[in-house]
């Protein structure tokens, strides 16, 4: 009965790529392969996005715009280790998928263990530093005392689970590298609802649970990160999956570690450059006022619901391109990249259209006092959905081939050559944006939110243009051929 229900659900889901193929927009076979790999990641990413939306929704309803702003500022620091973990796990999926394509299973297994050690080396110092310096870190971004208090508490607690979050992402990407995107989905189907439940009862203090407010949101997320890591560990030690975590034997191999870092470093740089670029951008927003920060935070979280398919299609393109490259079929890898982009773009534009239309009731639901401002941010992010889809999916294709430098170039150019210079124009002439001792920096022409909106959208389209151009040139094939992975690398 359950199997029949699954088959019916799968048949209904696959009507989407089939319909696109009938319209001549998609190669049905390759589109369905990409869709099959992407859907579990989309479900996982969607639930993760719903979790973040739920966090902001519940905190906003319980404590107001200052608490929403605090979560936004605190979460920016969490994005630093998150960016490192994305880079590391991108190296993992690239290496594992190429070893799998070359039928080198033991090396694929060892790459997982290698990634775990690299993750611990990165995560533990970050947790220690944040525990002692959370308050000045938040205070750097705002002089609103209540926002600083809320943000520091949130940051201290959530950073306790960074190591566990690293490992969960490594395990999920390793499984995706061999074409298994469903197991991570099942893990998240358990842990993310648990996270939402814990957040709700700890934020509001339902039943026997204490009312912890912002701290409750942090503890719910931290506990769920530990639970996810525990489940992934048990899964990869069980021997029931295509890849596993080998605890015994050799613990370090410089050639595989170097390749993981080589692939992951530009992607980590991509993410971190974006994250670091958000700090001066958030300073612009805090200069414009706490309500602007809260509206930005809510608008961004709402539109993430439209952006979530990009994570699935990006993972699918990495897997399909990487396995094709590992198997020596460059032309098939190219076709997988373009076909995955087509279905990704259509999927996200359809969702974005619904969210843009529903912007006002969504803004009202968050309980914000500044509904019109929040609606504007939702619609601005909606304009950038196409660019985000192109940028992320093409980045996944390049990542599958081990070519990760150009996404970094695009991110750097979009953030530092466009987004920040344009955003600075929002500040009124003479207003102090940065202050350090006797040194002050006060850019701006007083363009206000118009400059902020142009900065957000322009940044997205620059990144998209760079990534799609790089894939179009085909230079990523040369990068893949020059790599040792999939060409007899050994851990012996």
Q: In 3-state terms, the chain is what percent helix, strand and coil (to 5)? A: 80, 0, 20
CA distance 7 to 95: 32
CB-count burial class (<10 Å; 0-12, 13-18, 19+) for 135? middle
What totals of helices (H) and strands (E) does the chain contain, helices first? Answer: 20, 2
pLDDT of residue 10: 62
Which residues fall within 8 angstroms of residue 188, CB to CB, at 6 or more apart? 43, 44, 47, 48, 228
Nearest to 148 by CA among 215, 256, 66: 66
pLDDT of residue 63: 79
| Strand partners for 80 | none
Nearest to 309 by CA among 247, 383, 386: 386
Q: Where are the domains of the chain?
A: 17-482
pLDDT of residue 112: 74
pTM, two decimal places: 0.69
CA distance 199 to 219: 7
C-alpha distances (whole Å) from 177 to each of 379, 397, 459, 479 are: 35, 13, 30, 19
pLDDT along the chain (492 residues), means of 10: 56 73 82 80 73 77 80 81 69 67 65 75 86 87 84 90 83 73 79 85 84 87 89 80 68 69 69 78 85 88 80 84 80 87 89 89 82 91 90 88 83 91 78 45 68 94 94 85 51 34
The continuous run of DSSP H or E covering 440 comes out as strand 439-441
């Amino acid at each position: 009965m359950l199997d029949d229900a699954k088959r019916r659900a799968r048949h209904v889901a696959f009507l989407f790529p089939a319909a696109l193929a009938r319209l001549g927009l998609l190669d049905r076979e390759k589109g369905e392969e990409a869709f099959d790999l992407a859907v579990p990641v989309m479900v996982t990413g969607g639930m993760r996005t719903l979790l973040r939306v739920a966090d902001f929704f519940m905190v906003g309803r319980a404590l107001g715009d200052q608490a929403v702003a605090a979560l936004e500022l605190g979460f920016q620091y969490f994005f630093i280790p998150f960016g490192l973990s994305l880079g590391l796990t991108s190296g993992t999926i690239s290496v594992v998928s190429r070893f799998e394509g070359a039928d080198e299973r033991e090396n694929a297994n060892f790459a997982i263990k290698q990634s775990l050690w690299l993750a611990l080396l990165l995560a533990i110092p970050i947790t220690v530093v944040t525990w002692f310096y959370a308050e000045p870190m938040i205070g750097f971004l705002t002089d609103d005392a209540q926002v600083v208090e809320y943000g520091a508490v949130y940051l201290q607690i959530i950073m306790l689970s960074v190591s566990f979050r690293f490992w969960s992402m490594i395990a999920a990407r390793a499984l995706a590298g061999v074409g298994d995107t469903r197991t991570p989905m099942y893990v998240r189907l358990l842990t993310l609802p648990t996270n939402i439940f814990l957040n709700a009862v700890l934020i509001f203090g339902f039943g026997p649970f204490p009312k912890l407010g912002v701290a409750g949101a942090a503890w719910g997320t931290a506990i769920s990160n530990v639970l996810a890591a525990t489940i992934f560990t048990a899964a990869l030690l069980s021997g029931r999956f295509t890849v596993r975590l080998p605890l015994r034997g050799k613990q370090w191999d410089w050639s595989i570690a170097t390749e993981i870092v080589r692939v992951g470093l530009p992607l980590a740089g991509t993410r971190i450059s974006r994250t670091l670029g958000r700090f001066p951008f958030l300073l612009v927003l805090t200069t414009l006022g706490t309500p602007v920060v809260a509206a930005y935070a809510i608008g961004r979280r709402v539109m993430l619901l439209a952006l979530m398919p990009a994570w699935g299609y990006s993972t699918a393109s990495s897997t399909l391109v990487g396995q094709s490259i590992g198997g020596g079929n460059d032309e098939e890898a190219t076709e997988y990249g373009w076909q995955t982009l087509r279905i990704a773009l259509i999927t996200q534009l359809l969702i974005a259209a619904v969210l843009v239309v529903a912007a006002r009731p969504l803004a009202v639901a968050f309980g914000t006092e500044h509904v019109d401002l929040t609606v504007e941010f939702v619609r601005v992010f909606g304009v950038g959905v196409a660019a985000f889809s192109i940028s992320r999916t093409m980045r996944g294709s390049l990542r599958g081939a081990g070519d990760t430098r150009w996404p970094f170039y695009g991110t750097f150019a979009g953030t530092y050559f466009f987004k920040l210079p344009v955003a600075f124009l929002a500040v009124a002439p003479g207003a102090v944006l940065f202050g350090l001792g006797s040194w002050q920096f006060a850019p701006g022409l007083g363009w206000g939110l118009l400059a902020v909106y142009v900065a957000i959208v322009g940044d997205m389209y620059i990144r998209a243009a760079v990534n799609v151009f790089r894939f179009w040139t085909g230079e990523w094939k040369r990068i893949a051929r020059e790599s040792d992975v999939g060409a007899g690398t050994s851990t012996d």
